[in-house]
Structure 1
Amino acid sequence: MTAERPTPEKATGSVIDLVDFAGKDPKTKTASPASTTTVLWGDHGNSGDLTDTRTVRHVRKISQGGISTPFASQKGKGTQQVPQRARTPSRDRLRTEAAATTRGGETGRSTSQERSNVASTILPAPSTLSSVPQPPSGDASSPAEGQAQATASSHSSSQDASSSLPPSPKTPSSPTRRPSTLPHVRTPADNRYLSSRHYATFSQIASNECYSIDNQTIWQSALSGDRLPQPQTSQEALDLEMLTLQIGQSFTKNNPMTGNFNVLLLYLLSHMRFMRVMAYDGAWTVEAYNALFLVRLCTKHFVDNLTQIQIHEQFEMDRTLSLKSQMTSQFKSDQAQMALDSHVVHDKRLRAQQLLEELFHIIIYADASTVINYDFYMEAMNLIIVMCSAQLYQPLSSAVEGSYFIDIVMDRLSHFAGGAMQRLLMNFVHRPPPVGSSGGMLYSAYSYLFATKKPEGAAPSPLGDKSAILFLILSAQNPKHFANEFKEAIKRFQDSNVSDSSQMAEDDHSINVSFRHVYQTLCSNISSEEAGLILYPLLLHNRNFRSYMLSRTDPEGLLLPILKQIYELVEQRTNYPQLYILLVLILLLSQDDVLTDSMQRIIIPTQPWYTERVLKSVSLGGLTILVLIRCIQANLSTFKDTYSHTVCVAILANMARNISGIHSIVAQRVVSFYDMVAKRYLKLTGQLARESSEDVSTPTTSIQPDPAEDDPDTIIYGDLVAVLLEMINSVVTYSIKHNPELVYALLHKREAFVQFKLHPRFGDLVENIDTVISYFHDKLLEADLKMPSAADVAGVIDRASKTWSISKLKVISVLKFHYEEDANDWQFLMSYIWTCDPIL
């Protein structure tokens, strides 16, 4: 239910650029063009339309070396890359150290060329490992022995094999880093992923010897036996990557001659096709699961180190091999002899397309109710995510042009969009835990490691979390040559609990989901990054879900957890991307007048997480104002982020007209904050004026610009003064009788407004406030209170408000902000989403 708003008249006035005041040169004090937000300030003397609508649109500068974000660095250091999430300190640095040691001599990549796009926003620069992995105990061949010679040999051979390919795009070198003092990467001997038999067999398959599917001994040894355990944390993923590093290098070097990877891939596709024909009735075999696990490991190595053309050639290598003797037209998953399905081998489509299509069939239709099916489903999502992660290793220009696997998904598999997005969202909503004791130790480890990330009472669900990440990765893509049907599918979500035949007839392609279950899951998990990122496109792009949320009578169920998370992020000074997304969510909700009005009427109990004051009987709107002011204060002193600053200001402006029954603490906070900002603004303008006068050495007749007009700090504080004055103006104009506490606070700080009476920019805004202050001050003088108490003053204000007439005030336009997504927002979102997956 959306409130009807008057159509705004075209605003007149001056254009003010909210320049990122942290992105300035500390010597010249000139603004950096890294990011600007343009806001059109309306003519306050316009008495026609009472609504002045402004658009909050963020323009992010995109640089070749990475993606700039709306998060400016502190203390004038310019635009910084995407801040990292709060993680264990060993994850990013150890993983990057491993990259520095292992990727220097691989095909198509050099150490200085590996991550220049989104990855440059996630990981620090490489440094040197102080330990080298060792083989599992009892293994005949050591993967660590002669690593330097193997790397050099791989580099030389791969250059010969790919001499006809175009060179990889050049990317800037990474800055040097100090040597790491963190613990070493675990050696393969300490790993829990591969037994000595498995490791030796995988090394043998990756060698330069060709193994057909008829060689039952080698393939049975590789794929049968125990299921290979999945890594659940970033450290485990790093250990596995280091363990299988030499195997991946050998596959890259030798697969063009042997085709062993392609035999493995065709065997996996044969299993997948068989299960699809059987409608996924039954359990996956251990051989199918282990084949999927190994294909993911090899694909990740290809994605990390090869160009798009080289990846394509690795997947299509079997086209040049003779596999007729290895085929069967009656493939069965439980047959004694391993074979390849002739339908799969003769399929003329790209192998990558075949694989992705089977994976999407599994995502949409497969069951995950048994232990092995649950793990296979998880591994299928992991493989899709790994294939999409190719964009992490491309220069920005190439990432915009497209990615091999992503282009296949967007172009040839877009018909899976509706079913895939529906199933992934339902997985996140229902959050199925690992089946039974699923791996025992794995489940316990996951529960322990992620207990602090999830809200209290929320059961850990690896499948639910992974589904959310894949949902976000698919919906946030912005392919250049194709429409993103996965993003469009979000717009087609329809509430399955509402049977509206007319609406269903209007859109035959609607996707039914339970909005009630989605809302409840988001409320209970909003502190997780995935929940906020999922709610963002639902609110922004799906009008049905937005209407459902605005029609609910319990907005505090969602807003209170969001406010709590914002407050904690501000206090902890961490995870700026999540803070920004949560602020945008509140801005989207604040655009509805009915919701902002109901927020003033909902009284909430004391919130223990708000530690500045003990709040009793404060409204939801009042608590929102307190949290936003705290956020702005932290931003001015620490974050120096223009975008979050602008969003906070926009929310306050949207709430202003409907403020009613404001709490005394909230009223005092608003006026005191205005007083602080006004003093800072006057100090900045006075200091700059003095500096300008001292710099004038000779008289001149030319008109000199006001130095304060171009100073970023002055612009920011000036805009804050303007918006706070507009906010107070809206209250005193439309609801002064219902906000006596604000009148009390204005009388207490009445001298803070005198200084702006004749100000060219703020004079009109102060005029109404001064009229209100003068009226109530005269009433206090008439009351002739000898030793007035707070209760006596409140009584005078209450009696005087009954005779107050709005005709005494000058009519001004109502300030209104609307959020509009920028064309480049997908780059910020993608860089943030990739940091949410612990195994990448």
Structure 2
Amino acid sequence: MGANTSQVSDLSESQSIRTLIGPESISENEPFWNQLISFTFTSPTCSQLFIWQAHNALFLVRCLLKVFIREMSEGELHLQFSYQARAPGTYESNSEDLLEELMCNLVHLIVEVPLLDITYNILFEAVTTLLVLLSYQLFQKDILREGLIYQCLTRGRCLTLTSRLVKTLLYNFIRQEKCPPPAHLFQTQADGGGLLYGLASGVASGLWSVFTLGGAGSKSGVDQEQNPLPLSNQSLLLLLVLANLTDGPDCPNPYKQAVTCFKNTQDTSSIPSPQPHTFQINFNSLYTALCEQQRSDQATLLLYTLLHQNPNMKTYVLSRTDMENLVMPILEILYHVEERNSHHVYMALIILLILTEDDTFNRSIHEVILKNISWYTERALTEISLGSLLILVVIRTIQFNMTRTRVRSTRLCSFFLTNFF
């Protein structure tokens, strides 16, 4: 810790860390703060000094927040971010609330800083720090509707950046940028993932587990990417958590409004949207990303959310002539049902149910001819229509669920077949 290269195992012996957690107060002008955030896992170059130190500062803040949120209430956390400047010899002081300032700066950083190799890790830290702040729900039995963090995001200064934040998180998911070579800020581990990604994934995974009632996540060893996409994955998790915050008594969730009303960039309609947080995004790029990422239950939940709540996106998806690119990954999820958790299978079935409500979709999928389905191994399918394959996989899913008494999925399959025919 300091100007020299550090390792995580050395943190407990760091004098800077001991000073930080010690009982003595430290002035904001002390050189200690510059030394504290000047640690690195590899040596930085001079041109990257500012981003390097900002990243380290965010890393420290996130680590401290994880401890604070686990050990104290929101009110006690708020006291940790209440700053009082008092002149020597006087009793008057000016109090400053730094919690909302922190959250606004994190949102500003995410929406203002361009995604480049040099900024990838600092953007990842900003997104993950917001996830950590929202993880208070992990330690609460009741749904949080009036917490300080909730109010900062839905009613405070962050409210004006709602549409820009949602749009940026969507584009982070669309771009699917891989983590750049760890030459600047951290070293990779033997499993191919980044050190900071490993440290951060715990909170995001825990929050995702609560978000899906403890059933999310594939079985161990299934669908593990050799080259993880930490920023894309964390951005998607943050987007889903924000979009599913509950509505307040007098304040609807603005992030849910933004997700349900955004439009295509090619939409030239002059009719203004009644929603206050609408924006435009490239539907073709979003559709492509959704088709490619259905192996993760987070991406499947995003697809379900958009089809269910965003009429603009639903209309666009149903108008596509390459529907097989979206339906085939969904069918593959259902075919490998024994390897998927029940939430993922259930969402895939609901997506098919939504699509088959459209008569044009039901006719068009029988016109798409597929050849040599590699993942269907029970028999050789040299040529089959997409509609026939869909029926075959759904019937197979019904049979699998009946043998395991999964009543909810079996009923949904039955509703789907009734709707389809």
Q: TM-score, normalised by structure 2?
A: 0.82
Specify which of 214, 223, 226 is matched with residue 29 of structure 2. Answer: 214
Equivalent in the alignment of 1:405:
149
Q: Cα 1:540–1:203, aligned 2, differ >3 Å: closer, same or farther?
A: same
Q: Which residue of 1 aligns with 2:324?
A: 556
Give the match for residue 393 of structure 1: 139
Identity percentage of aligned residues: 28
Match of 2:407 in 1: 642
Task: Give the residue type in structure 2 aligned to 1:219.
Answer: W
Q: Deviations over 1:381-425 (max 9, x none)?
A: 1110000000110112xx244433123211212222100000000
Shift of 1:625: 1.3
Residue 192 of structure 1 corresponds to 7
- CA distance in 2 between counterparts of 1:368 and 1:194 reads 31
Partner of 2:380, secondary structure, is: coil
Is the Cα contact below 8 Å between 1:414 and 1:486 reproduced in 2?
Answer: no
- Equivalent of 2:110, from 363, 381, 384? 363
Residue in 2 that maps onto 1:593: 359
User: Counterpart in 2 of 1:63?
Assistant: none
Read off the aligned partner of 1:453 and give its amino acid letter. Answer: D
Q: Superposition pairs for residues 465-544 of structure 1, below 5 Å?
A: 465-481=233-249, 482-496=251-265, 498-503=266-271, 510-544=278-312
1:571 matched residue in structure 2: 338
Residue 611 of structure 1: how far off its partner (Å): 2.4
| Residues 474 and 207 of structure 1, relative CA distance in 2, 3 Å threshold | same
Gaps of 5+ in 2: 199-219
Is 2:80 the partner of 1:314?
yes
The answer to whether the aligner puts 1:453 opposite 2:197 as a matched pair is no
Partner AA of 2:401 in structure 1: N
SS of the residue 1:480 aligns to: coil
Matches within 5 A, 1:620-769: 620-638=386-404, 640-656=405-421
1:492–1:542 contact (8 Å) kept in structure 2: yes
Alignment partners' CA distance in 2, 1:581 and 1:611: 24
Q: What is the CA distance between 1:455 and its match in structure 2?
A: 7.4
Structure 1 288/486 Cα, relative in aligned 2: closer, same or farther at 3 Å?
Answer: same
- Are the equivalent residues in 1 in contact too, given 2:51–2:122 (CA < 8 A)? no
Tell me the amino acid that sits aligned with residue 35 of structure 2. S
The 1:484–1:283 alpha-carbon spacing in structure 2 relative to 1, beyond 3 Å, is farther
Aligned-partner residue type, residue 331 of structure 2: L
Residues of 2 paired with 1:560 and 1:606: CA distance?
13
Q: By how many angstroms is 1:441 displaced?
A: 2.4
RMSD value, Cα: 3.2
Q: Quick one: structure 1 residues 290 and 587, their matched pair in 2 at CA, closer, same or farther if it must change by over 3 Å?
A: same
Looking at structure 2, the residues matched to 560 and 414 of structure 1 have their Cα atoms a distance apart, in angstroms, of 38
Q: Which amino acid aligns with 1:193?
A: V
For residues 323 and 586 of structure 1, the distance between their equivalents in structure 2, rounded to whole angstroms, comes to 66
Whole-angstrom distance in 1 between the partners of 2:27 and 2:155:
33
Counterparts of 1:285 and 1:367, CA distance in 2:
13
Q: Deviations over 1:773-832 (max 9, x none)?
A: xxxxxxxxxxxxxxxxxxxxxxxxxxxxxxxxxxxxxxxxxxxxxxxxxxxxxxxxxxxx
The counterpart of 2:54, out of the listed 288, 296, 299, is 288
Highest Rg: 1 or 2?
A: 1
Residue 424 in 1 paired to residue 169 in 2? yes
Q: 1:379 to 1:631 in 2, by over 3 A?
A: same
Take 1:192 and 1:540, find their aligned partners in 2: how far apart are those partners?
47
Q: Counterpart in 2 of 1:49?
A: none
Residues in 2 aligned to 1:454 and 1:504: alpha-carbon distance in whole angstroms = 43
Aligned residues of 2:260 and 2:309 also touching (Cα < 8 A): yes
In structure 1, the residue corresponding to 2:155 is in which secondary structure? helix
The letter of the residue matching 1:411 is: R
Query: Aligned runs of 1:146-185 on 2, under 5 Å?
Result: none
Q: How does 1:89-108 map to 2 (within 5 A)?
A: none
Show CA shifts across 1:487-513 (max 9, x none).
1001221111x2414346887863111
Deviation at 1:585, TM superposition (A): 1.1
Contact 1:227/1:286, CA 8 A, preserved across alignment: no
In structure 2, give the amino acid aligned to 1:525: Q
Q: What are the Cα deviations for residues 229-268 of structure 1, in whole angstroms up to 9, with x where unaligned? A: 9xxxxxxxxxxxxxxxxxxxxxxxxxxxxxxxxxxxxxxx
Q: Distance in 1 between matches of 2:362 and 2:190?
A: 43
Q: Take 1:194 and 1:363, find their aligned partners in 2: how far apart are those partners?
A: 30
Please give the alpha-carbon distance, in whole angstroms, between the structure 1 residues aligned to 2:51 and 2:12. 20
Query: 2:49, 2:150 → 1: CA distance?
Result: 29
Residues 1:365 and 1:346: Cα distance change in structure 2 (over 3 Å): farther
Alpha-carbon separation, structure 2, partners of 1:406 and 1:490: 18
SS at match of 1:210: coil
Q: 2:206 aligns to what?
A: none
Partner amino acid for 1:375?
N
Q: What is the distance in 1 between the residues matched to 2:105 and 2:224?
A: 32
Q: CA deviation at 1:196?
A: 5.1
Residue 591 of structure 1 aligns to a residue in which SS?
Answer: coil
| Equivalent residue, structure 1, for 2:40 | 226
Larger deviation, residues 445-454 vs 599-608? 445-454
**Deviation (angstroms), 1:483:** 1.1
- Choose from 271, 295, 305 the match for 2:71: 305
| SS of alignment partner, residue 526 of structure 1 | coil
User: Match of 2:210?
Assistant: none
C-alpha separation between the residues in 2 aligned to 1:444 and 1:621? 40
| Secondary structure in 2 matching 1:547 | helix
Rate the CA distance shift 1:323–1:356 in 2: closer, same or farther, 3 A: farther
- Which residue in the other structure is 1:604 paired with? 370
Name the TM-score, length of structure 1 as normaliser: 0.43
Of structures 1 and 2, the one with the larger relative CO (CA 8 A, separation 6+) is 1
Contact 1:402 1:479 in 2 (8 A): no
Query: Does the CA-based 8 Å contact 1:454-1:528 persist in structure 2?
Result: no
- CA distance in structure 1 between the aligned counterparts of 2:66 and 2:192, rounded to whole angstroms: 24
Is 1:383 equivalent to 2:112 in the alignment? no
- Residues of 2 paired with 1:653 and 1:227: CA distance? 59
Would you say the 8 A contact 1:400–1:480 is kept in 2?
no
Give, in whole Å, the separation in 1 of the partners of 2:224 and 2:107. Answer: 28
Counterparts of 1:209 and 1:601, CA distance in 2 = 74
Question: Relative to 1, partners in 2 of residues 1:455 and 1:617: Cα closer, same or farther, differing over 3 Å?
Answer: farther
Residues of 1 paired with 2:244 and 2:276: CA distance?
24
Q: Which residue of 1 aligns with 2:211?
A: none
Asked if 2 retains the 8 angstrom alpha-carbon contact of 1:455 and 1:525, the reply is no
Q: Residues 542 and 196 from structure 1, CA distance in 2 versus in 1: closer, same or farther, beyond 3 angstroms?
A: closer
Q: Deviation string for 1:441-478 (max 9, x for gaps)?
A: 2597128999963679xx64211111111111111111
For these two proteins, the number of residue pairs brought into alignment is: 384
